[in-house]
Amino acid sequence: MAGGAFVSEGGSGGRDYEGGVTVFVVITCMVAAMGGLLFGYDLGISGGVTSMDEFLSKFFPQLERQRENAKHDTAYCKFDDQKLQLFTSSLYLAALVASFVASVVTRKYGRKVSMFTGGLAFLTGALINAFAINVTMLIIGRLLLGVGLAAVPALLMVIGSFFLPDTPNSMLERGRYEEAKQMLKKVRGTENVDHEFEDIRDACEAAKKVEHPWKNIMQSKYRPALVFCSAIPFFQQITGINVIMFYAPVLFKTLGFGDDAALMSAVITGVVNVLATFVSLYSADRFGRRFLFLEGGIQMFICQILVGSFIGLKFGTTGTGTLTPATADWILVFICVYVAGFAWSWGPLGWLVPSEICPLEIRPAGQAINVSVNMFFTFLIGQFFLTMLCHMKFGLFYFFGGMVAIMTIFIYFLFPETRGVPVEEKGRVWKQHWFWKNYIPDDAVIAGHDEN
């Protein structure tokens, strides 16, 4: 589930509150950020170990014979093994199920309990993986990692959750008003929180009045939100980004890179991914969501075609051949450019856009659809990529390039710019669009203006 998220500053329209960033808030954010650290840590570790000879010979000995045959047969099928792919993908299947349970746990018991439970599950899974003696233990450990979604950061998250209280919002949701107000004072570092507390309480009360979000999202006026909350996470995964995130060392070894070169190339693409994500922090509100979607799509399409062509020229359909150092360098360069294109467009926007186009009455359903579609297709890509590479060969990169072209065309014709538009005004944006106007009734737009 490659990607990221950030907070947009455009069009919030809210009032300023007294207070600032306190030490308490910084520590709280650091503990909460352990969840993201765990996810990234797992991506790096799982991608690295699946290319290590010691790991493969111990847990997947059948691959030894398969890789030996590949020397005389086809390089594309060196790592085609369902159990090896299940080792990677099982985490995301568990995370798909856990995402539905987590919302219930958080709503009923608070975020503190949710963080502790997730951290404990991740810690347990990490320990099982560390002491695994067979594939079954590996898979069980990965499933628990998915529920928690590394032992050291997981332990820090578990310990930290003991000392961190619930958020004011979570306390208000469970009727603990005075505790919530005291916690808000601690968060803001000031006694003057009356206005903000009233706004938070009003928002919580409004959220409690929301009924049947799944029924609401099926209404015609919410059709754009339903489509984009489903299509954006689907396209985000079908770009092929997780081919790089999950299997970068395996992919590079398949192409003939040495062990050290494969791991180093994976590290390089990971660093590019992190650095390019910061570009979106600056550009999303400056250039707009639509521009980044389109620019990132074009960039990824070109790189996928070029990488597929380089591999096709060197390995053909037989999978026999070798890469010259110059060709290997060019492939790495284009993969890095591809990763950068994703990291400043579809990666963060895949989470930002679905969250900002869903009004309160459909937000729970919209977010659930976004997460579940993302996790489901992450699981599919993780489970079947190596098999697809074996059968489609270098054409697999053309396949992903074709999907990138389709999603870019989809955005060009169907996605209007939403930068700086408050969520209650989104109806006006859809109503002005040549296609979505057929689904948006006039009263949906009028209601949005009345609320303002």
pLDDT(18) > 80 = no
Lowest model confidence (mean pLDDT) among 61-65, 326-330, 398-402: 61-65
Confidence band, pLDDT 50/70/90 cuts, at residue 36: low
Give the pLDDT of residue 11: 42
pLDDT(279) > 70 = yes
DSSP state of 133: -
Give the pLDDT mean for 332-359.
92
Percent of the chain with pLDDT over 90: 25
DSSP assignments along 345-411, one per residue: THHHHHHHHHHHS--TTTHHHHHHHHHHHHHHHHHHHHHHHHHHHHHHTTHHHHHHHHHHHHHHHHH
Quick: pLDDT tens for 72-98.
Answer: 467 788 788 888 888 888 878 887 877
Quick: pLDDT tens for 296-334.
Answer: 999 999 999 999 999 999 888 887 777 788 888 898 899
Confidence band, pLDDT 50/70/90 cuts, at residue 157: low
Residue entry with tokens 């306190």: 22
Quick: pLDDT tens for 243-271.
Answer: 787 777 777 777 767 667 666 777 788 88
Is-contact 325 425, C-beta < 8 A? no
Q: What is the pTM (predicted TM-score) of this model?
A: 0.78
Give the pLDDT mean for 280-301.
93
Give the pLDDT of residue 30: 76
Confidence band, pLDDT 50/70/90 cuts, at residue 450: very low
Is-contact 307 36, C-beta < 8 A? no
Is-contact 288 280, C-beta < 8 A? no
Is-contact 275 342, C-beta < 8 A? no
Question: Crossing angle, helix 151-163 and helix 23-32, to 10 degrees?
Answer: 140
pLDDT(144) > 80 = no
Separation between Cα atoms, residue 169 and residue 180, nearest integer Å: 7
What rounded mean pLDDT belongs to the chain?
A: 81
Separation between Cα atoms, residue 383 and residue 88, nearest integer Å: 7
Apex CA 182: angle with CA 176 and CA 188, to 5°? 130
